[in-house]
Amino acid sequence: MEIIQVNTAAQLKQFINLPYRLYKNDPVWVAPLRSEQHAQFVPAKNPMLDHCTYALFIAMENGKCVGRVSAFLDHLALDHWKQPIGLFGSFECVNDPQIATALFAAARDWLRAKGMTSMRGPWSFASQEWGLVVEGFTPSPVILAPYNPPWYNDLLTGFGFSKAKDLMVYVIDAREGYAIPPRILELTDKVARRYGVRTRPVNMKNLEEDVVTITRLANESISDNWGFYPVTADEARMMAHDLKPVIDPAAVILAETLDGTPIGFAMTLPDVNVILKGLNGSLLPFGWLKMLTMLPRLNQYRMWALGVIPAYQGKAIDTLLYRATYEAIYTDKMRLEINYVLEDNDRMNNALFKLGVRNMRRYRVYEMVI
List pLDDT tens digits, range 320-335.
Answer: 999 999 999 999 999 9
pLDDT at 241: 83
19-32 pLDDT, tens digit each: 999 999 999 999 99
CB 123 within 8 A of CB 365: yes
179-214 pLDDT, tens digit each: 999 999 999 999 999 999 999 999 888 888 898 899
User: Looking at residues 120-146, what average pLDDT do you find?
Assistant: 92
Q: Is pLDDT at 107 greater than 70 in this prediction?
A: yes
- Which residues does 215 contact at the CB level (< 8 Å), separation at least 6? 231, 233, 235, 236, 239
- Calculate the average pLDDT of the chain: 94
Using CA of residue 349, residue 312, residue 224, residue 128, what is the dihedral sign?
Answer: positive
- Which residues does 292 contact at the CB level (< 8 Å), separation at least 6? none
pLDDT at 244: 84
Domains of the chain: residue spans and CATH: 2-167 (3.40.630.30), 172-361 (3.40.630.30)
More confident residue, 345 or 240: 345
Q: Give the number of other Cβ atoms within 10 Å of residue 281's Cβ.
A: 18
More confident residue, 139 or 126: 139
More confident residue, 237 or 40: 40
Whole-angstrom Cα distance, residue 139 to residue 134?
Answer: 13
Q: Is pLDDT at 109 greater than 70 in this prediction?
A: yes
pLDDT at 127: 67
If you write DSSP's letter for every residue of 141-190 in order, what string do you get? --TT-----TTHHHHHHHHT-EEEEEEEEEEEEGGGT----HHHHHHHHH
Q: Please state whether beta strands 252-257 and 300-308 pair in parallel, antiparallel, or not at all (unpaired).
A: unpaired
Count of positions (residues) in the chain: 370
Q: Is pLDDT at 226 greater than 70 in this prediction?
A: yes
The model's confidence at residue 277, banded by pLDDT at 50, 70 and 90, is very high
The model's confidence at residue 239, banded by pLDDT at 50, 70 and 90, is confident
Q: Is the peptide bond before 150 cis (omega within 30 degrees of 0)?
A: no
Whole-angstrom Cα distance, residue 203 to residue 135?
Answer: 37
State in Å, rounded, how far the first CA of the chain is from the last one. 24
Q: Is pLDDT at 162 greater than 90 in this prediction?
A: yes
pLDDT at 224: 84
pLDDT at 240: 81
**Pick from 360, 238, 248, 254: which is nearest to 301 by CA?**
248
User: Looking at residues 308-314, what average pLDDT do you find?
Assistant: 95
Whole-angstrom Cα distance, residue 85 to residue 77?
Answer: 9
The model's confidence at residue 317, banded by pLDDT at 50, 70 and 90, is very high
Q: Is pLDDT at 128 greater than 80 in this prediction?
A: no
The model's confidence at residue 284, banded by pLDDT at 50, 70 and 90, is confident
User: Looking at residues 256-273, what average pLDDT do you find?
Assistant: 96
pLDDT at 129: 83
